[in-house]
Structures are given as C-alpha cells and as structure tokens.
Structure 1
Amino acid sequence: MVYTYIDYNLITRDMKLSLQRTADQAQVARETAYYKENIGKVTSIDAFMDDYQLYSYAMKAHGLEDMTYAKAFMRKVLESDLSDDTSYANKLTDDRYRNFAMAFSFSQGTAVVQSSAQEEDVIGLYKQTMADQEAAVGTDTAYFNAAMDKITTVDQLWQNDKLKNYVLTAYGFDPKYMSYEHFKGIVTSDVNDSSSYVNTQAASYKQGLQARIDSIVSTASAEDLANSASSARKQIAQYQSAINNAPDYTTLAAAFNFQTDGTLSAGDLPMTNDQKSTTSTSYIFAQPRTSSSAALSTKSYYESAMANVTSISGIKSNSTLFSYIVTAYGLPSGTLTTTFENIVTSDLSDPNSYANTQGGQYSAVYKKIAADFNFQADGTLVSGKAAQTTTQMASTSAGWMALYNDKQDAADETLISSFQTLMQTVTDVDSFLADTKITSLVLKAFGLENEGDTARKLKKVLTSDLSDPKSYANSLKDSRYTDLVKAFNFNADGSLGTPTLAQSESEILLTAKSYVVAKSQFGTADDKTKATEESKYYSSTMEKVESLDDFLSNKRLVDFVLVANGLDPDKVEPGYLRKMFESDLDDPKNFVNTEPDTRYRELVASFNFNTEGQIVKPEEGIQTRRGLLETQDLYYNQTLEEQEGEDNAGVRLALYFRRMAGGIGNAYDILADSALLQVIQTAFSIPEEMSSADVDVQYAYINRVLDTQDLQDPAKLEKLLVRFASLYDIDNNSDVSPAEIIMSGSGGTGISADTLLSLTQLRTGGA
C-alpha cells in the first residue's frame, strides 16, 4: 500500500475538517482554551515567558519548540522593533523569529498624543475653518445688503438675529450684552439732537463716572492723591479710562433712518446705500480675518472714498483708509499717521526730504508711497487735482489685493508650526490644556473657540470613552466634542494612549511587509522598489481610514490587503469581501468561519472593525485578533503534522511543504530548510550526495528541475506533492497497490496506476 499518498490525500481533501478534528482532541482543546483565556492578561515579556503553558504553546505554534529553553535569545527577538530593518529579529536569517515577534505586540503599540494622520487632520481642519470664516464674511455681507432693504421697523430688525448681530458687530458691540430697549433707543435717535436718547445716555454715563472721580478726590487725602500706587489713584485712573473709552453709540445711531417710534417715513429705507457701505466695511474690518470678497469690498470702498479726500486729514481721520494704505504698501502695523503724513508731503525732487532720507529697510517703500499721492507740503491738494490719479490708485489697490492676507497667513503658519513643536512636549491631558497656543488652534479647528469651555470641561471631554454611550463627550450631544476626542489619544486617566486605527500599528507593519514579499518574491529589483513605495502609501493612508465603507471604497487599499494575504484581487468580489467583514469572528457558524480558505478569516481579524463596520478600540493585550488566530491555527497545523509524522514521516513532510510553499521565493529558501529540501530531493530523485556539493551548484540543479514560482499554483503544488508521496513510499519499500491509490482519490486529486507505474519505472530505471 502507498501509505504516504493515501494518508496525505485523506487529510488534505478537506484540510479544514482535518484541522478541526485535531482541535477537538481533548488535550489540544484544553491547551488552546488555556491560551485563549490567558494570553489577553499578559502585559509584559516576563509574564509571558514565566507562564510556561502560554509560552510553549506559542513556541510550538511557530515551529520554535526546540528553542523554548533559549529564553534570553527569545527575549531579544520579542523586544525587537520590527519597523527597524536593523533590529535583532529582522537581522536573523530564519524568518520564523521575525514572524514570532510579529505575532505579539510588545513593542508595536506607541503611546502618542496624536498620530501623524491625526495631527494632519487637525491642521487641515484648522485651515478649513479659517477659510470658512473668511467665506462667511462675504456670505453674511451679501445677506445684509439684500435683507436690510426689506426691514420696515426696529422690531423686525431686532427679531432678525442675523441682521442684528451683523450690525452690532460692525460697530463694535457684543450682541449678548445689548438689550432691546437700549438698541431701539439708539437706532431711533437723532444724533444732532442733544436731548436724544443716544446723546443723553452718553452724557449721563460719562457724568456718572466723573461724579465717582469727584467723590474720590473729595474724600481722599492729599498723600493718596499724590501716590500713583495708592488705591485712590488707581480707581481714578480706571474711571478716567472708562470715560475716555466710553462706547460711542452715535455711529450706530447715524447708520439708520428710523423715526422715534421705530418706523420709517414713507419712501425711506432703513439704510441708504452709503450707510450700508459704511456698515459692511466696518463689519469686514471687525473680523479677525479678511476674505477675498471682503478685500474686494474694501477696495471698492477705498477707491470711492478717496475721490472725496481733499487733504491729508481725510485719510488720517479715516481708520479704514489708513489701514488699507498701510497694508497695501507692506508697512508695519504700528505705523503712525504722522509718519504717513511726513511721507506723502515730501518733495521727492529734494534729496533731503523725509521720504528720501528716512525709512531704513522701508526706504524704497517710502519713496513709492510719496510718488503715489499728490499732497502738497502743507497736506492740501492743488485745486482741481485728486489725491490719487487713476494710475496711482491702481498701484495702491494692486498692493492691497496682493498683501491683504499675508499677515494672517504668516500668523497661521506660525501658529501651526508652534502647534507641531509643542505637541511633541505633551505628556498628558493636563500639559496639553495648559498650553494656550495648542488649545487656541485646536478650539478654532473644531469651532469651539467661543464656547467659553473651562479646562475642567475639556479634560472631561478629552478623556471620554466614545464607545460608551453614557460617556461625558457623548452626553453633550454635540459632534464637535466627539470629533475633538477622536483627534487625540488620551486614556481615561489623562495619560497618553495608542491611536484607535482601522488596523493596529503592528498589523499595518505586517500587512505592508507581506505585500512587499508577495510582490518581490519572483519580481525584479524595480518590482520591489514599487512595492515598497506602495507599502508607504498603504501605511500612511490606513491611519486615515475611519470605517469599513471608507476602506472598501478605496480599491488601492483593498487590493493591497488581498495581495498581502495571498489572495488574487481579480478573483475576489467586493460584496463577498464585505460579507466577510460583516461576519462575527466569535461565531463558528458565521460566514467568515465557514469559508474553507482560512486566509479570509485572518484578513478580517487583522482589522478593528465591528460587524457594523465601525472602528472599535481593540482589547488590551499582547496579541491582535489576527495574531491570536494565527497562533491557534499554526498550533493545530503543527500538532496535526507531528501526530501524522509519528506514523509516517512522509506525510509530515508533505503537509509541512504544503503549508510553507507560499513563502518559497527561490531555490535558496528550499536549501535553507532541510525538510523542504528532502521533499524536493525525493520528488525529483536527487541523490543525497548532491547535498555535499557547492550551494550554488545545488541551487542551479533545483532550478533545472523545478520552477519555484509553480509552487504558488495550488494545482501544480498538489501535483508535486502527489509525486513526492508516491516516490517516498517507493524509496521506503512500501507495497504498491494501484487499486487502493485509485480508490483513495477524490475529485481528481488521486493518482492513476499508470502514473504510479511510470514513477516506479523512473525510480528503478525501467523503460
């Protein structure tokens, strides 16, 4: 009887069933149950190695049983940084050690406040938020100009929050602190009437403050009044400052045409075009950022207003015009109006004039400004001459359009640079919240800068567990806060945690390495280079995947994962793969667990998606789900091979070769493994004496009889192993019974008597 072939065929015709029978054996089941129950409790290499039952199970699974004693050696393997090609495990020629280290994550999870993808997302969100704010200025202004003409009473204006807030912001008032009565009193006042509400209120306010000053003066001692550090002097200074900076409601009152009862006269609008233009310009300049539409609006205002300027005082007294000019010529923001006056009243033909002798690094700018304005030495204009000609005005406006947002862009870049630098110093949530530069950018990015949140509240948000529907961040029912939590990796105690990714760091690394191996195994150096570049794309992009849909919609990522797991992308339907991911890995009857090809199960297990396609934080432990399944499956295979080998070493060799064939890239891989070499020597009748030949000679010989790339073809691999099994029995003097061989075949995997006879003749040299 050809024992090897029959036994091998009986096992592999349904490999999944054969492995399940092995798993169901009482001792194997006990050992596996212990491993699954306890491996998740291990948090250190010492704890792992001290538990002999766990450690020996893993070592046997990875084919390292004979090295179980070498704990010092294996510790160095487990401590290796697999992302570093020069690390200990990566430098070992035997891939079993690297694969063993890869199955565990002692050094793969990095606790960081943010991953590079998270940091990139926050910075991108900040930039987008700033861009949205700029765009909103134009949108709000367009609404203001269109909607204001439809207002007929003060009450209508007050009830339209969007319009009301626009107007109040334009004139420097906080809508939160403005009452209806006060607002109505102001906008229905006649600024030219000293007894109107707006004028009497202002006078009353200042008189009240002055009365308090007078009271302090009358009661304080001469010594207190003379001492600048005394409380009396400080109070007087505060009240005097309040008087000097008292809100000027007259500009707001002058912006409207309401009658004292809050209505409009027949044919009147609440605002003339000039009033609307002044208001919208003031609103634009009240914003922290200037948009392109706002810049154009300001340009229009400047060019219109400059036509009415008759002396330098017309610019000095108009902050909008002056700011426009300062920006247009790139002058420092602190430039004084007197400096501007000195420049534009200079005679450029006089080498000793102010514009020709002053300015330092801005000397060329001073001369350019002097040339672009037509004021005389006394600040007036020659009769009939404009402050700027059309050409001069165009020059100024060109400067404005080129430079209006340079300062805010520079400020953004400075803030972003500071954020990136300071984030590297964050050690916990408290140090994060303590830095105002960090929180300034973050709160603006998520639209939370005006919420007035305390550090205590933000800490509770950032340390929330989003998987808990009752967590603090979830209880706020505001997506801005949950998005904020997702952008950082703080643990519940405020310490730094690891990012919650679609794939853990160790899995991304393993998938990337497997892809490079698969693509370069039989390829050229150029293929390997391309594969390495593709793996970089995969590693960086996977950090940004937020759901199963997100992953499956990116065919480049999906194909990468399939290739890395030894699957042909052209033969895998997207819907089929989705069914795999939506299966419950813990249910043995679920779709992914009933699929004969176990590669799908390991592929799904390498991701952190739940059955709904959402990313969930993996359970703490030293093994990912894939690592645990891989170790378990390897243990079953090793046990099956050992048990079969007790009765027939040929069966063990065939099963081992079948399992390892996918990793054979060339003849050197075969020569490096005595078990693989024995199968090839037997299958191709290579004399044992050949083992004494030079390695390169053996390499060349194997390549003559075998194309190692054929081992990736299941049909060709099976044909080779049938050949090996039959010749192994002949070599070991087993009786040949063609009838039993034929009876043992299944679905075309058997071998005919004629074929066996041919093999026997090849072995014996018969014709």
Structure 2
Amino acid sequence: MVSTFLSYDLVNRDLYTSLNRVAKQPEISREADYYEANIAKVKTVDEFMKNDRLYNYAMKAFGLGEMTYAKAFMQKVLESDLGDETSFANRLSDSRYRQFAAAFNFNNTSSAVAQTSNQMDDVIGLYSATMDAKEESVSVEAGYFNAMMGTITSVDQLLSDDRLRSYMFTAYGLDQTYYSRDFVKGVLTSDTSDANSYINQNLKPRKDALTAENADLQAQVDAETDPDKRIALRNKIFANDKTLGTIDQYYKLADAFQFNADGTVPSGGAQTTDQSKATYELYLSNQTRVSTTTATNEDAYFKSKIGSVTKIADLSTDSRLYAYISKAFNLDGVIWSNIETALKSDLNDQTSAVYTLAQEKPGLLELAKAFNFASDGTVAAGSAQTAKQQETTSNYYFSRYDDTQDEADEQAALLYKTAMTGITSVDDFMAKPNAYEFALKAVGLDPADVSAYTLKQVLTSDLNDSKSFVYTLGDDRYLQLAKAFNFGKDGKTTSPVIAQTSATITSIGSAYTIQQTRLLKGAELTAAQSKAKEEVSYYSKQMVEIENASQFLADSRLVNVLLTSYGVDPKSVTNDFLKQVFKSDLSDPASFVNQQKNGVWAEILGSFNFDKNGNISRNVNTGVQSQGKIIEIENKYNRQTLEEQQGEANPGVRLALYFERMSPKITSAYDILGDTALLEFFRVSYSLPESFSNMDVDKQAALVEKYMTLSDLKDSDKVAKMISKFTALYDQQNSSASSSALSILNGSGAAAGISADLLYSLSQR
C-alpha cells in the first residue's frame, strides 16, 4: 500500500499539474464552462438560486456543499451587506459564509448618483486648489510681464505673446475674446495728444457722438413724465456709458505705452517706470480674487501714505486706505461715523464712546488703539501711528485681508453640496447655477465661456471611447470635469465606476486585517490591529481615486494591502512581474497572467475594473460577479474536487491537502476546534483519543496551544513538517482501509451535519 505521505507528495509537489488534470476532466470542464457562460446572465439572488447547476457549483467551491439544501439560509447570506458588521453573514462565526457573500455583487450598495461623496469632496478640494493657483498666478504673471517688457522691441512682439497680451487686457479691463489685432496695434502706437493719431481718428468721433447723444437723452429724461419711457431712455444712456467706458480704457491703454508710430520701441523702452507701475496697480485691482501679491501691494501703499495723514478724513477720502483699515480691523459694514467716533475717543476714559461701540464691534477698539488722533480728529504729520502701531495694523491686515473671500468660498461649497442633492440628470445639473458654475470654476473654466451645448456633451461623453466629444476638445480641464460626475450617454445619472467594487474593497480589507493580526496576542495584537486599520482605511479611500493600473502599481501601500490580502508576500514579487500581470488580457489563454502556475494572479487581475489598456472601464465586471471571482470559484472548485477525489482513495491525503490549504487562514486554536477536519488533523498528529472532543472547549484550546506552536503556521517549511508528521501517524493509526476521517471529510468542515437553523443559532452566542 502506498503511504499517505507519498500519495500526498505526488499530488502536492506539482499542484499546478494536479489541478490542471482535474480541470480537464470532462465532467469538471463542462461544469466550469456552464458556470462561466451563465453566471453573467444572472441578475438577482433568486435567479442564481433557482439555477441548481450554478448554485451547487459555487457552494461546492467554498466547501459548503453540505448546505445546498438550506436555500433560505444562503439567500440571507447573499443579501448581506458586508460593510455592516451587524449583517447576517457577518454575524455567522464561519468565515466561509462571508467569503461566499463577498464573491457576488448581489448587495452592491452603489447606485445611480450624479456624484459620490468622494467625487464631491474632490471637486471642492479642486476648487480650493484652483483658487489658490489663481491667486499665485498673479505674482507669476506680473513677474513675467515686468521681465519680458524689457526685451520687447516692437508692438507686434507684445501682441504675439499670449501672456503679455492677457496681462495688458486684464489691467485695462478689456475683453480679449474677440479683438482686432490691427485695432489694438493702432491704439498702442497712438499719441493721444495728436489729433491725427490712430486712436483720435477712430475713437474720438465715436466718443464725441455718444457724449452728445447722452446729453440729449438726459434732456429727454428730464422732460419726460411717462415712467416707462424714462426707463427706456436711461437704458440707452447706460448702454452708451458702457461704450464710452470702453473707449476711455483704450485711451488709458494708449497712454500706458510709448511705442513709436511705426510700432518700434523708443530708447527708453516700451514703458516708463511710472507706466509700468500704473499697469501693475491696475492689473492687481482687476483681479477677481484677493491674492497675497495684492495684499502686499496694499500694505506697501498704506505704509507709504500713512506718514502724510494729518486728519481722520484723510483715511476716508483715500479709498485704498479706507479699504485697508476696514480689512485690518474687521470693519466691513461699519458706518464711517462710528469709525470716526472711535478714532476721536479718549482711550483713558472708560466712558468714551469707543468702549460702547466695541461691545458690538471689537475691531473699533483695536482701531482706536492703533492710531493717535486727537479728539478733534487731527494729528501731526508723521504721527498718525508709531512703528509699533503700524506693525500691529499690518499684522491685522495680513491675518484678515481674505476673510471675506474665504467665507464666500465656504458658502459656495455649501451651496454646491446643497445644489447637488437630488440631481438625476445632466439637465437637472445644468439648471442649478450653484452646481455647474462651482464645478466649472473648480477645473479652471470660466462659466461665461462654456456653452450649454459643450457642457452637456462633455458630461455625457464616454470616457472609455477615445473618440467621444470630451477628447476632441483636447483640454484636460473638460476631461477632469467629466470624470467628476456619473452621467450616462442618455444624460441620466449612473452608478460610479471605480477600480474595484465596494464589496471587493471591503473583502480585501478584511482579508488583509486577518493576515496581519492572525496568531498575535496582547500588545502585539493591539498594535497590529491599529496598523491594519490604518492601512485598510488608506486602501479604501485611495482606491476610489485610482484611474488606471499604472497609478495603482505606483502606490506601494495599495499594492502591499492587495497582495497580503491574497496571501502573497509583497517582498517576493518584483515590480516588473506585477506590471506584466496588469498588462495581461484575462480572455487570452496565452497571456502572461494565464501562464502562471499560481491562479491567484488571475484572481487578482480579475478583481479590477481595468480594460485591456489598464484604464477603468464601465464595460468590465458588469455582472453579479467579477471576472476575478469567477476565476477564484473555478480554482476553488477544482481544489475541492482534487481533495475529494484523493480522499476516495486515502482520506488521510485529503486531510493533509485540506490542512495545507487552510493553514494560512488559521487565526487561533478555536479555528482548529471549530473545523472537524482540522481538529481530526490535530488529533491524529498528536495521537489524542477521539474522546478529546468531549473536553471543555477552553481546555481543548489550551491543549492545542500546548502541543502546536501556532506561530509555526506562518512558516511554510514548518507547515510541511507538520503534514509529514501527520501522514506518518495517520498510517500508523489507520492500518485498515476504513477510517473515521472519511466520514469527517464528507462533511468538509465546521458545519458538517448541522442544520441551517442550528448553525444560525450557534452564531448568535
């Protein structure tokens, strides 16, 4: 008779070949083909459970063959939300049920939504980053303009530089969307004092005509008694004033440069120092956001002017000084008379008005302390502030200059969140300015420049089709916008697509935690649990951000969690190997991943929603089971079949194979005691009587820990020695062909012979 160890070794030494031999058996192959061809057709739990071939195949794969009759019980398992610790499957002590539920997407909680919470947070974060970048660009563009103007040799060179031209138009409040190059060139080469210059020949007649027309219109307004006609006349005046304002800006533009009439630059340069400074001041004042650069400029202005202030009125008549102290002392909305009263107050008199005013507006007391005006509102030149007071004022200003702006941003984000509630289509989204304007600004687009048609086409583009509308624009901002939402081609909301399903992410997190904490105790266990929780949290958060395989592989923390959860030591795998795995085509038998002896690599690749190019796709894993889980079930089914077939000839071989497969999943002595096959392996290995099982369970656990060094289960070489010892003792204890092990293995695990009701009852204890 062939020894148990030899029989085991013949199978296990080349497990890949042994499993392939099983997979090629006609009956096994037919069942696998049927499962793969039909599981994709299943949409509901009921459909799955009514198809006995699919149901039985999956149940056997997870070692639950003895529970196929308990369909009501298994339906509860499949409908469990594994993200909920109190769900049915999570309350069962046998982990096989959780693993079975995790293999399907019947309880996929992801539903059609315009934007997930993560996507929303990303847009809000992007908005903040874009606003910050916009503020930082002020300094960058100003520096560029000042540096390049020294190299300009002609007006054509200036107009050909997009950044210089944009800076110039912004400074003078001119729209460059549709501008005439020849016209602007004519303006820049004009001498406004020369009646024959281009600007006076082309704009002055229009300016004079509009001015005269407005005078006539105003006379008509004064004489008109009909309210509607008065409004119509005033509207004409308003329109003319707008045009006159633009004409005035062109005159200011002409005066801001000193190009010669032929467009060349005079010896003094394209701009004088004063012209350059004036342009810079205008550029800052025309920004839609207050930047650090603007604040620094306003601070310098205040310090340059405060020495010449001799009366309180000087602060109000200079709009920039007034704005500065209003920001510095948080006085927005405070009427001037109260500010003036505070500045005139005697701080040594506790009954003075400033103390009363400060109860409602503390900034007024800060203001009074920062200046030295007399009770009549005057002060000697150079004495309005001491150096210390000026420093305090400056510090207040820099800490508060953007408070209003920050509050507005927070309010915009809040309004965005509110507006996104209840959106079920692109039309809903576009009907809410608080939603679409915020989103456009977040990606750096001006809502005024984006048409409704373009926005709708972008949001309904198929991101997996390189020919779809969003890609034809060639602008990453639009692509970023499209990725931030979940609208289908029909304009309706759809479920978000991420690199892995939420169920898969949850399953990987659980498996990782088990691997990192198994067989540990005390402080070591606590530390490992804390670290595992941190890594699982990181994995869960980052996976929703992953867009392609390259991005995933570049994050070693994500890779480590994934590999560890599948029982693979990250240190044993090279980056090149992983790249080849993720470049593989699962549907191609000749691809790299399908040539590996360890089927886990195909399972890993199949758990991702990546297409052949490594990009996230809605067209991958669209059924109730991912391709990776289908492969996993086939691998498990083949392994179960191999063990069963070996057990028919020698139950000891089946026990050895079962222990080899389950050893990486054992977390404590109770896992061994709760699994009849593992318990039999242990009993035989240490020559314990069958009555051993009649002892108190805690005493049994103590004996397991006494005889078996559980930490050795982490070492494959030591596991091999355990199996070698078992096979020798098994042959010694089972000289006849019959064995109690056969009846034990026919149950295949912890639940053998236990009814579904009893199993659930036990799980509640």
TM range (shorter): 0.7 to 0.9
Indicate conservation of the 8 Å contact 1:462/1:485, yes or no: yes
Indicate conservation of the 8 Å contact 1:257/1:271, yes or no: yes
Instruction: Tell me the residue number matched to 1:253.
Output: 251
Uncovered stretches (5+) of structure 1, i.e. residues with no partner: 219-224, 737-767
Indicate conservation of the 8 Å contact 1:45/1:78, yes or no: yes
Please state how far the C-alpha of 1:134 moved relative to its aligned partner: 0.9
- CA distance change for structure 1 residues 310 and 727 in 2, over 3 Å: closer, same or farther? closer
Instruction: Tell me the residue number matched to 2:644.
Output: 642
- 2: distance between equivalents of 1:316 and 1:433? 44
Deviations along 1:419-466, one digit per CA (max 9) or x if unpaired, are 345445444433333332222322112111256223443232122221
Indicate conservation of the 8 Å contact 1:154/1:184, yes or no: no
Greater Cα shift, 624-633 or 705-714: 705-714
Aligned residue type for 1:721:
I
Residues 648-727 of structure 1 mapped to structure 2, 5 A cutoff: 648-727=650-729
- 1: distance between equivalents of 2:298 and 2:425? 45
Aligned residue type for 2:708:
L
Indicate conservation of the 8 Å contact 1:516/1:531, yes or no: yes
- 1: distance between equivalents of 2:152 and 2:335? 40
Residues 116-515 of structure 1 mapped to structure 2, 5 A cutoff: 116-149=117-150, 157-176=158-177, 179=180, 180-181=182-183, 184-185=186-187, 188=190, 190=192, 197=200, 201-211=206-216, 225-228=224-227, 230=228, 232-242=229-239, 246-247=244-245, 249-250=247-248, 253-254=251-252, 255-256=255-256, 258=258, 261=261, 268-306=268-306, 316=316, 318-332=318-332, 334=333, 361-362=360-361, 365=364, 368-369=367-368, 372=371, 374=373, 393-450=390-447, 452-515=449-512
Indicate conservation of the 8 Å contact 2:188/2:259, yes or no: no
- 2: distance between equivalents of 1:592 and 1:41? 26
- CA distance change for structure 1 residues 713 and 370 in 2, over 3 Å: closer, same or farther? closer
**TM-score under structure 2 length normalisation:** 0.84
Indicate conservation of the 8 Å contact 1:60/1:635, yes or no: yes
- 2: distance between equivalents of 1:723 and 1:351? 94
Instruction: Tell me the residue number matched to 1:89.
Output: 89
Indicate conservation of the 8 Å contact 2:508/2:565, yes or no: yes
- CA distance change for structure 1 residues 344 and 247 in 2, over 3 Å: closer, same or farther? farther
Residues 568-587 of structure 1 mapped to structure 2, 5 A cutoff: 568-587=569-588
Query: Aligned with 1:330: secondary structure?
Result: coil
Please state how far the C-alpha of 1:25 moved relative to its aligned partner: 1.6
Query: Aligned with 2:177: secondary structure?
Result: helix
Instruction: Tell me the residue number matched to 1:58.
Output: 58
Please state how far the C-alpha of 1:522 moved relative to its aligned partner: 0.7
- CA distance change for structure 1 residues 202 and 27 in 2, over 3 Å: closer, same or farther? same
Uncovered stretches (5+) of structure 2, i.e. residues with no partner: 739-765
Indicate conservation of the 8 Å contact 1:328/1:396, yes or no: yes
Instruction: Tell me the residue number matched to 1:12.
Output: 12
Greater Cα shift, 351-360 or 80-89: 351-360
Query: Aligned with 2:496: secondary structure?
Result: coil
Instruction: Tell me the residue number matched to 2:107.
Output: 107
Deviations along 1:70-107, one digit per CA (max 9) or x if unpaired, are 22211111111101111100101111111100111122
- 2: distance between equivalents of 1:562 and 1:367? 61
Identity of aligned residues (%): 38
Please state how far the C-alpha of 1:620 moved relative to its aligned partner: 0.6
Greater Cα shift, 722-731 or 384-393: 384-393
Instruction: Tell me the residue number matched to 2:543.
Output: 542
- 1: distance between equivalents of 2:518 and 2:307? 76
Indicate conservation of the 8 Å contact 1:2/1:726, yes or no: no
Greater Cα shift, 244-253 or 516-525: 244-253
Indicate conservation of the 8 Å contact 2:329/2:366, yes or no: no
- CA distance change for structure 1 residues 395 and 5 in 2, over 3 Å: closer, same or farther? closer
Indicate conservation of the 8 Å contact 1:507/1:606, yes or no: yes
- CA distance change for structure 1 residues 313 and 717 in 2, over 3 Å: closer, same or farther? closer
Please state how far the C-alpha of 1:581 moved relative to its aligned partner: 2.7
Indicate conservation of the 8 Å contact 2:257/2:275, yes or no: no
- CA distance change for structure 1 residues 55 and 139 in 2, over 3 Å: closer, same or farther? same
Instruction: Tell me the residue number matched to 1:532.
Output: 533
Indicate conservation of the 8 Å contact 2:331/2:363, yes or no: no
Instruction: Tell me the residue number matched to 1:601.
Output: 602
- 1: distance between equivalents of 2:348 and 2:529? 71
- 2: distance between equivalents of 1:248 and 1:545? 48
**TM-score under structure 1 length normalisation:** 0.84
Indicate conservation of the 8 Å contact 1:144/1:166, yes or no: yes
Please state how far the C-alpha of 1:271 moved relative to its aligned partner: 3.9
Greater Cα shift, 692-701 or 54-63: 692-701
Determine whether 1:33 maps to 2:38: no
Greater Cα shift, 354-363 or 543-552: 354-363
- 2: distance between equivalents of 1:265 and 1:675? 94
Indicate conservation of the 8 Å contact 2:603/2:628, yes or no: yes
Aligned residue type for 1:401:
F
